[in-house]
Chains A and B, each alone.
Chain A
Amino acid sequence: MWRRTVPIMITFFVGTVLVVAEFIPHKPFGNLGEDFSLYFDIIAVFAFILGGGNLCRVHFSKIYRGKTDWQFSIVTLLGFFVMLAAGLFKIGNPMGIQGDVTAAGSLFADLYDSIFTPLQGTMYALLAFFVASASYRAFRAKNIDASILLIAAFVILLGRTPAPSLIADFFAGAGIGFMATAFNFVPTLTDWIMDVPNLAGQRAILIGIALGVISMALRLILGVERTYLGADSK
């Protein structure tokens, strides 16, 4: 009973108080939202420790058991501990232990700038290649819906570059006025797609999410939703 009732009561109490606090901007309710945000940060710190511990447990176990690609686990753990030590002990920091962790010249800053930044940039840059390859395979005018999507994609692809005005200038120079007008219209069409159909879709999604969040919050506060309690929730 205690394992279920106490967490449900805490959730009900905190949820109700925070909802009420939103409408009463006076003490003791006025600052409750901010206070709970700080409590959340404090709890989140422990989650970092838990996360770090879990990372070590999983990868040490992988190395110990010699599982597939265990060598990568060594790199992961090495990266984790070196960055942790560089940040915690401010190794090489010109301002000493009290200096900013990212101060120029510190080992942390050097590792971040020389290893982390180019690696992450490289990973993201690879997306361009995969997006191009996926677009080639996926954009097929197989039916009306796919054709509309294809046309919209073409307009956006072209309209998000200076190409339409350059092509329009070319056609204007060649004396083909209607083509110049058509290409000059592409940026306007791009803005229309972003401002009207895209906006309508995004608003519908946002409103849907908001209603879903309210519904889930009410279910949690009233104790209807208990999956967060784990296996013993029923």
Chain B
Amino acid sequence: MPDDVKNKAGLLERLQFIDRRYIFIFIALAVIIPLLLGLRFEEEPSPIVLALYDKIDEMPPGSRLLMSFDYGPTTAPEIQPMVDVILRHACLKDLKVYLMAVWATGQSLTVQTVEQVLMPEFPDYEYGIDYVNLGYKAGNQGLIRVIVDDMKRMYSTDANGTDIEEIPIMKQVSSLKDMDLIVSFGGGFPGIKEWILFAGDPGGIPVGGACTAVSAPQLYPYYPNQMVGLLGGIKGAAEYESHVLNTYPEAFAKTPTPGMNMMVAQMVAHIVIMLFIVFGNVMYFMYRGKERKLTLEK
């Protein structure tokens, strides 16, 4: 392109690639302001979220739910709201809850969840009788493969070092096949996929999942035959929270809804990103038009 054409088209070209710090400022404001305002909107549950909700809701009291914390602090802000709402739903339905982690970073989050959600909100839930924390065990999919047939081969104690034989809730469990539902939280490796391949399929155990939004598309092929349902990112959490809130308004009226609150921030951030994309494309087409016009004039 000739230099004079370049100069005339320069402004439009530069506008196509504005300093990314401006984008950062807009995104920061788009996220911070809605979170500070604490707004929330109702969400309609999508079929894949509703499927997991229905599965848990239809489980009779005393059914066994295994929750595997397969994530770390990195994705905790996105996954924790899903963990909290499913745990609350399970406790409301009087399910027996088994907590474990196949990620080393998951164990602390298990303890945190028990201390922040289960103990204060469900004081009647008794450790060892209504729930147990089996903690983290190394081995990834190898661990799952072993406990699908024999739980006690890998778990001789719980996370606190108590003999598994002395824990009443463990007396009814010899393998994963005794679980009525497994829900894995986290879309990394090992995670939902490994639970499906090494426990759900060979053991005939229903498996559900909750993962980050970026991991969700990779797990769609397993739904609905191999995976009961899936919560994908904050959207999944918000849909589940909204549905639980509508179904059990009295029980959940005062419980926090981080998913629904974060969804507003995500909505505003998405709109800001879309506006930037539109702006970039308008500048791109204007630049191309100008460039063509100037070249023809030349």
Contacts and interface: CB of A to CB of B under 8 A. Distances in A.
A34 B273 contact: no
- Interface of chain A: mostly helix, strand, loop or mixed: helix
B138 A198 contact: no
Contact of B276 (A44, A123, A132, A194): A132
Interface string A33-58: 11001101100110000000000000
A64 B270 CA distance: 48
Interface in B138-170: 138-139, 141-143, 145-146, 149-150, 153, 159-161
A140 B284 contact: yes
Nearest to A130: B20
B235 interface: yes
Chain B interface residue count: which class?
35 or more
Given A37-B143, A160-B213, A161-B235, A98 B161 contact: yes
A202 B227 CA distance: 15
Contact of B273 (A45, A135, A165, A191): A135
Given A40-B142, A132-B273, A157-B274, A137 B42 contact: no
Interface stretch (B6-14, B57-65, B215-223): B215-223
B92 interface: no
Contacts of A95: 160-161
B280 interface: yes
B72 interface: yes
A134 to B, nearest CB: 9
Chain A interface residue count: which class?
35 or more
Interface centre among A98, A140, A203 (most CB of B within 10 A): A140
Contact of A198 (B42, B44, B220): B220
Interface string A202-213: 110010000000
Interface string B45-68: 011000000000000000000000
A99 B111 CA distance: 13
A88 interface: no
Contacts of B276: 132, 135-136
Nearest to B238: A162
A45 to B, nearest CB: 8
B130 to A, nearest CB: 19
Give the top 10 A-B pairs by smallest Cβ distance, nearest first. A37-B142, A161-B267, A117-B73, A120-B73, A133-B20, A162-B41, A120-B74, A136-B276, A124-B74, A34-B146
17 contacts: A37-B146, A38-B146, A41-B139, A41-B143, A44-B139, A121-B74, A129-B27, A133-B24, A136-B276, A141-B281, A154-B277, A161-B267, A161-B270, A162-B43, A162-B263, A194-B216, A199-B220
